[in-house]
């Protein structure tokens, strides 16, 4: 996609959308009947792993190259290229959203003029939850754009209200006191956090849910709410909370001491008997350490190298993969993004673990809504895969039904 200097995201998008519509039309005309790969019975029973069945433009995971690429840019490249607050290291999440939705690295002006103005107009100091924020105008792509921008702008307030309801007895903030702002390094962490959790291609539970629900022409508020229910599962977003629970228990079990890996190993192995899965390890697509883990590790080395919980996370990185490899079940024994985030949040005082999935959701909105804008703009159809019964499958492959 060609870069443009306009700072109006809506104009940039309208231009891109019409070009992309005709590019895809030509592609379908030429290659519409071309077969791609094959599907096995194991893939059908195995949660559709590896089946290519979705078009999702915002990012792609490369399992072997260990890259999450947002329109071709890896996390380190995004950290380097996207606009930043002067003097700060981590890029602005607003810039990542521009990249996700346009495929172009924005200028500083595009981020500050277009997005900040857009959000500023829309930030809404209200306590209504996401599902109530929706309005009845779901059919047209410009409304999906408007509603998505509206939702992204309001989500920080919705998330803040959830926090106040859960942990501050439902109080509200009438005046903003900037002297109570979080530590500047925590703000940096939040920028990093919002970027690395935003998008992980389309097949993961939350992204796929928003894609599926959106394909019924449900509006962005409904699609996002549905996705959040999936993100709250322990095999998905809730894993960051689960990680912290067992890390804390492990730390306690070791008498609060962080020893070297040889000393941790027996206690960890004893814990494994109780853990069905080691949270924060493994991945359905990646086959090496998640780059989202690596950049959090780099952040920790820079800002909290002596934190006992970080040391524990780091020691476990040397132990867990070998244990999982020996066990021989997990296809990927390496840590994912959730293995690290809880310890960083806790270090800066965000100890309320039940809240972590809410933060994850604020970030994931950037990727899911960027895709939803495109799915509607390109007129993607209702998602409706064909299901089969076991008997039907057996007949199809010529198996003996009596076993
Ligand atoms: N600890 C122990 N066993 C694990 C494991 C882990 N961390 N990861 C996978 N396995 C096991 C699976 O349970 C499965 O066992 P069975 O054959 O007995 O059912 C086997 O290894 C094969 O699984 P897989 O193909 O490697 O992994 P899946 O694609 O089925 O699942 C995931 C991927 C992430 C759900 C899984 O690795 C897991 O449960 N990890 C722990 C939870 C977690 O960290 N989730 C967060 C992922 C990132 C995110 O979405 O936020």
Extents of the domains making up the chain: 239-350
Nearest residue to 303 (alpha-carbon basis) of 335, 343, 334: 343
The residue whose CA has the least distance to atom 2 of ligand 1 is 277
Q: Whose CA is nearest to atom 16 of ligand 1?
A: 329
Taking the C-alpha atoms of residue 311 and residue 259, their distance in angstroms, rounded to an integer, is 9
Residues 6+ apart with CB under 8 A from 6: 12, 110
Do the Cβ atoms of 374 and 57 come closer than 8 Å? yes
Hunting for tokens 């894609």 — which residue is that?
211
The secondary structure element, H or E, covering residue 221 is: helix 220-231
The total of other beta-carbon atoms located within 10 Å of residue 342's CB is: 26
Whether this prediction's pTM lies above 0.85 is answered by yes
Is the Cβ atom of 338 under 6 angstroms away from ligand 1? yes
Taking only the tens place, the pLDDT of each residue in 303-336 is 999 999 999 999 999 999 999 999 899 999 999 9
Q: With 0-12 CB in 10 A as exposed, 13-18 as middle and 19+ as buried, what is 121?
A: exposed
Predicted local distance difference test score (pLDDT) of residue 175: 82
- Supply the pLDDT for residue 135: 43
Report residues of the chain scoring pLDDT below 50. 1-2, 120-121, 123-128, 131-139
Kindly calculate the radius of gyration of the chain based on its CA atoms and give it in whole angstroms: 22
In sequence order, what are the residues at sequence separation of 6 or more whose Cβ sits closer than 8 angstroms to the Cβ of residue 326?
none
Q: Is the CB of 235 under 6 A from ligand 1?
A: yes
Cα-to-centroid distance, 278 and ligand 1 (Å) = 8
Pocket test for ligand 1, best of 208, 282, 288, 317 (most atoms within 8 A of CB): 282
Taking CA atoms only, the protein residue closest to ligand 1 atom 23 is 330
The answer to whether the CB of 206 is under 6 A from ligand 1 is: no
Ligand 1: does its nearest atom lie under 6 Å from the Cβ of 23?
Answer: no
| Ligand 1: nearest atom to the Cα of 205 | 50
Separation of CA 320 and ligand 1 centre (Å): 13
| Catalytic center residues | 236, 283, 338
127 is written with which tokens? 């306590």
**C-alpha of residue 149 to centroid of ligand 1, in Å:** 34
Looking at residue 114, what is its pLDDT? 64
* Ligand 1 proximity of 280 Cβ (cutoff 6 Å): yes
**DSSP state letter for 354:** G
Q: Which of 49, 276, 277, 357 to mutate to test the pocket of ligand 1 (most atoms within 8 A of CB)?
A: 277
> Ligand 1 pocket, 284 CB below 6 A?
yes
Give the tens place of pLDDT for each residue, 202-223.
999 999 999 999 999 999 999 9
**DSSP alpha helix (H) spans, 32-88:** 41-45, 75-81
**Residue closest to 21 by CA, chosen among 378, 382, 380:** 378
- Give the model's pLDDT for residue 65: 64
Quick one: pLDDT at residue 201?
Answer: 93
Instruction: Tell the residue nearest (CA) to atom 48 of ligand 1.
Output: 236
Spell out the CATH class of 239-350: mainly alpha
CB-ligand 1 contact for 279 (6 Å cutoff):
yes
The Cα 359–Cα 345 span in angstroms is 10
What's the pLDDT score for residue 118?
54
């Amino acid at each position: 996609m060609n870069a443009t200097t306009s700072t109006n995201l809506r104009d940039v998008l309208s231009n891109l959308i019409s070009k992309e519509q005709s590019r895809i039309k030509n592609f379908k005309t030429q290659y519409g009947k071309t077969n791609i790969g094959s599907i096995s019975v194991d893939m059908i029973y195995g949660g559709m792993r590896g089946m290519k069945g979705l078009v999702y433009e915002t990012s792609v995971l490369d399992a072997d190259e260990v890259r999450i690429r947002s329109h071709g840019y890896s996390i380190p490249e995004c950290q380097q290229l996207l606009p930043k607050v002067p003097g700060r290291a981590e890029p602005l999440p607003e810039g990542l959203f521009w990249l996700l939705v346009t495929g172009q690295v924005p200028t500083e002006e595009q981020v500050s003029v277009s997005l900040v103005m857009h959000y500023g107009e829309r930030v809404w100091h209200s306590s209504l939850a996401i599902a109530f924020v929706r309005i009845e105008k779901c059919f047209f792509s410009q409304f999906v754009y408007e509603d998505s921008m509206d939702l992204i702008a309001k989500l920080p307030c919705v998330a803040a209200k959830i926090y106040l309801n859960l942990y501050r007895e439902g109080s509200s903030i009438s005046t903003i006191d900037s002297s109570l702002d979080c530590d500047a390094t925590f703000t940096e962490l939040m920028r990093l956090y919002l970027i690395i959790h935003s998008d992980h291609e389309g097949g993961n539970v939350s992204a796929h849910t928003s894609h599926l629900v959106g394909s019924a022409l449900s509006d962005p508020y409904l699609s996002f709410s549905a996705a959040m229910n999936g993100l709250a599962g322990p095999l998905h977003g809730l894993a960051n909370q689960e990680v912290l629970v067992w890390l804390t228990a492990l730390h306690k079990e070791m008498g609060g001491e962080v020893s070297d890996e040889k000393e941790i190993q027996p206690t960890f192995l004893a814990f494994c008997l109780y853990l069905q899965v080691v949270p924060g390890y493994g991945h359905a697509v990646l086959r090496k350490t998640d780059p989202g883990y690596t950049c959090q590790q780099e952040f920790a080395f820079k800002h909290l190298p002596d934190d006992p919980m970080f040391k524990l996370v780091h020691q476990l990185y040397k132990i867990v993969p070998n244990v999982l490899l020996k066990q021989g079940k997990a296809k990927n024994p390496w840590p994912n993004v959730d293995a690290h985030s809880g310890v960083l949040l806790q270090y800066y005082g965000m100890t309320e673990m039940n809240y972590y999935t809410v933060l994850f959701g604020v970030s994931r909105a950037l990727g899911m809504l960027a895709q939803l804008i495109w799915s509607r703009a390109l007129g993607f159809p209702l998602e409706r895969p064909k299901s089969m019964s076991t008997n039907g499958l057996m007949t199809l492959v010529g198996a003996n039904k009596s076993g």
